[in-house]
């Protein structure tokens, strides 16, 4: 593994410094040493004077300018044998030399020269020199990289990645499920490859195309396909890379980007997440002279200003078109707004075919059944689904992906990771009644989605789950269908009330109550499905950051607000009473299903309906896919 140069530098500098000082301490001469002439032991200065007075000292070698001495003297404790002693001499003792000469002691002085001073000077200079060298190295690397502390003047340079011929590895054949968007963008590619075909009839090349859609629907994948098909110079940048803390940097980067694009025209510029820089001006508090708005102004000018940008096509992507500035969306800047929505049943089958190319699927696996079970899934969700199924297959040591792995992968993607099953207790029985209550209402109410399975295996935050699987697409939702969903959401709470009593009602229905309250309020305030009449009383897009939610108040009076609350309560209460009645009428079937659910922990929809049909008639349903309410 190749370590980053900063890590190597941070580890090398301390090692060099410590090694140098250890080397200095090893090879520099210590005071009192000269080759092999070293002392065996130390001798105090007072004892040395006693030896000198008694005539036992034969020779003295002076070191360190007279600060240290190696004394050869006879030791009375060793029967007069000659020994070497090290003695630290005082700095000011001129009479000592005279006294040693009077005692006829052999005196020799050893000059160490300037080695100590040189080593001390080098020791003081080595760390500053290494520090200055490291800083120089850092600045040099910053200059070579084109960014960083040494490149204050290069802040305004564009950070767009440039490819003369974009080799993304993605073509239009690799994009499935969004045929309408592909057709719109294929014309852009054709315009770049064969412009004379369009200019012959007076058509002008579109200046920009804005890809709009929820996350994961394939906007960036489409941009890669355009780059791979067009074969022209390609610039790729994110909207957030324009914005910096310094005012004017973003506008400078926009100018630099379009300058490079003009030099390589005809070319493509892809700006991902353009809402980071293209938000509506004047919506914030504190004026409009900030960095982001100046960057947007420069972008508007470059796209369609006084100077013509011939041959430059801009592709941008966002999942928040409602926050973009209106000047950015007008024709002449973004001539086309391509909607990239979640795929329908046919689109999901096409996407699954693309992602199943490199997967080993069991022959019994039907991609159509997977597509029918995954309404509302985007392309990214479907790719993740098949990948999770492949991981589960490898974990279970199977050679091919089977329906069991597909079902578990769908549950994991939608509800979360599987938890530990509950032990048989009162809590488990209560959860079983709650989930069977949902399933009973979903089965007996005609306009509700059919039950796919009921399980007590925890996933995510849910201790139990009831799955409903529609089989047919539908874009409109009727009043009876909305009421059926509200009634089904109240099935769990109704079962708890009827079986255990009001005192034992739990918080397990908290999420259900939030959903059904939102649906009931939308019926009254947005869809006109109440006694208030066909009125839309609330706007779903009044958000604070657009400047429309701070000072604006509701467009209806307090009396109407009170009537709205009353209508919402009436709808929910009516559905609640219907749910409790169905639970009371089918108590015997519920008890049997609960016992079976506790025993098996999972009951599929067919088995559930077969058991329930022994107790009551089950209405025939018109199966459909529910439309997500916003």
Q: Which residues are catalytic?
A: 435
Where does 141-207 show beta strands of DSSP type E?
A: 161-163
What residues form DSSP beta bridges with 337? Answer: 210
Rounded to the nearest 10 degrees, the angle between the axes of helix 587-600 and helix 605-613 is 150
Give which of 600, 463, 575 is closest to 523, Cα–Cα: 575
CB atoms within 10 A of CB 399: 9
d(CA 421, CA 429): 13
d(CA 313, CA 303): 9
Give which of 260, 188, 269 is closest to 235, Cα–Cα: 269
d(CA 22, CA 20): 5
Structure tokens that stand for 97 in this block: 């030399």
User: How far is residue 110 from each of residues 67, 69, 72, 224, measured CA to CA in Å?
Assistant: 11, 10, 15, 82
d(CA 382, CA 216): 10
What residues form DSSP beta bridges with 272? Answer: 238, 317
User: How far is residue 273 from each of residues 187, 236, 291, 365, measured CA to CA in Å?
Assistant: 23, 11, 17, 37
- Give the count of alpha carbons within 13 A of 166, CB side only: 23
Cα angle 277-278-281, degrees, rounded to a multiple of 5: 110
H/E stretch holding 314 reads: strand 312-318
**CA torsion, ordered 303, 309, 310, 312, to nearest 10 deg:** -50
Which distant-in-sequence residues (6+ apart) come within 8 Å of 618 by Cβ?
Answer: 443, 444, 609, 612
Which distant-in-sequence residues (6+ apart) come within 8 Å of 347 by Cβ?
Answer: 176, 177, 178, 179
Residue 361: DSSP 8-state = B
- The answer to whether 431 touches 508, Cβ cutoff 8 Å, is yes
Sign of CA dihedral 495, 499, 502, 508: negative
| Placement of tokens 């006109």 in the chain | 528
- The answer to whether 620 touches 474, Cβ cutoff 8 Å, is no
């Amino acid at each position: 593994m190749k370590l980053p140069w900063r890590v190597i530098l941070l580890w090398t500098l301390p090692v060099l410094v410590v090694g140098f000082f250890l080397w200095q301490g090893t090879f520099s001469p210590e005071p009192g040493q000269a080759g092999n002439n070293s002392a065996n032991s130390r001798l105090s200065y007072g004892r040395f004077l006693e030896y000198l007075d008694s005539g036992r000292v034969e020779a003295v070698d002076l070191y360190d300018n007279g600060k240290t001495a190696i004394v050869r003297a006879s030791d009375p404790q060793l029967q007069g044998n000659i020994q070497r002693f090290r003695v630290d001499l005082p700095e000011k003792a001129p009479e000592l030399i005279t006294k040693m000469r009077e005692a006829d002691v052999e005196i020799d002085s050893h000059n160490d020269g300037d080695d100590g001073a040189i080593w001390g000077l080098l020791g003081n200079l080595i760390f500053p020199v290494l520090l200055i060298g490291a800083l120089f190295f850092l600045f040099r690397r910053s200059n070579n990289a084109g960014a960083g502390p040494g490149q204050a003047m290069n802040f305004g340079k564009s950070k767009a990645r440039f490819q003369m011929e974009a080799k993304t590895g993605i073509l239009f054949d690799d994009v499935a499920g969004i045929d309408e968007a592909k057709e719109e963008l294929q014309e852009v590619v054709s315009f770049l490859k064969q412009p004379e075909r369009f200019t012959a009839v007076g058509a002008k090349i579109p200046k920009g195309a804005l890809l709009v859609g929820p996350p994961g629907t394939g906007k960036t994948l489409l941009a890669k396909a355009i780059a791979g098909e067009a074969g022209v110079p390609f610039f790729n940048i994110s909207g957030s890379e324009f914005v910096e803390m310094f005012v004017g940097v973003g506008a400078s980067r926009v100018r630099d980007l379009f300058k490079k694009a003009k030099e390589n025209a005809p070319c493509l510029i892809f700006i991902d997440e353009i809402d980071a820089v293209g938000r509506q001006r004047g919506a914030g508090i504190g004026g409009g002279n900030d960095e982001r708005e100046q960057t947007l102004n420069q972008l508007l000018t470059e796209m369609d200003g006084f100077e013509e940008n011939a041959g430059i096509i801009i592709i941008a992507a966002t999942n928040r078109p409602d926050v973009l500035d209106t000047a950015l969306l007008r024709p002449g800047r973004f001539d086309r707004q391509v909607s990239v929505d979640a795929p329908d049943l046919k689109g999901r089958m096409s996407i699954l075919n693309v992602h199943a190319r490199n997967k080993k699927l069991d022959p019994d696996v039907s991609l159509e059944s997977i597509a029918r079970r995954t309404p509302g899934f985007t392309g990214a969700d479907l790719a993740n689904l098949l990948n999770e199924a492949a991981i589960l297959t490898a974990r279970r040591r199977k050679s091919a992906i089977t329906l069991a792995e597909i079902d578990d992968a769908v549950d994991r993607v939608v509800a979360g990771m599987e938890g530990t099953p509950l032990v048989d207790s009162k809590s488990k029985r209560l959860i079983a009644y709650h989930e069977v209550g949902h399933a009973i209402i979903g089965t007996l109410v005609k306009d509700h989605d059919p039950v796919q399975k009921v399980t007590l295996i925890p996933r995510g935050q849910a201790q139990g789950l009831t799955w409903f699987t529609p089989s047919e697409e539908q874009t409109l939702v009727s009043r009876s269908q909305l009421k059926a969903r509200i009634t089904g959401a109240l099935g769990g709470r109704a079962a708890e009330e009827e079986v255990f009593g009001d005192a034992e009602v739990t918080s397990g229905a908290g999420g259900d109550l939030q959903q059904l309250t939102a649906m009931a309020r939308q019926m009254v305030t947005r869809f006109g499905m109440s006694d208030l009449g066909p009125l839309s009383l609330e706007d779903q897009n009044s958000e604070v950051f657009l400047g429309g939610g701070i000072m604006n108040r509701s467009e209806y009076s307090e009396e109407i607000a009170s009537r709205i609350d009353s209508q919402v309560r009436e709808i929910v209460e009516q559905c609640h009473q219907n749910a409790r009645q169905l639970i009371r009428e089918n108590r015997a079937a519920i008890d049997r299903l609960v016992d079976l659910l506790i025993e098996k922990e999972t009951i599929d929809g067919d088995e559930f309906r077969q058991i329930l049909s022994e107790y009551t008639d089950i209405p025939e349903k018109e199966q459909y896919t529910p439309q997500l309410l916003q």
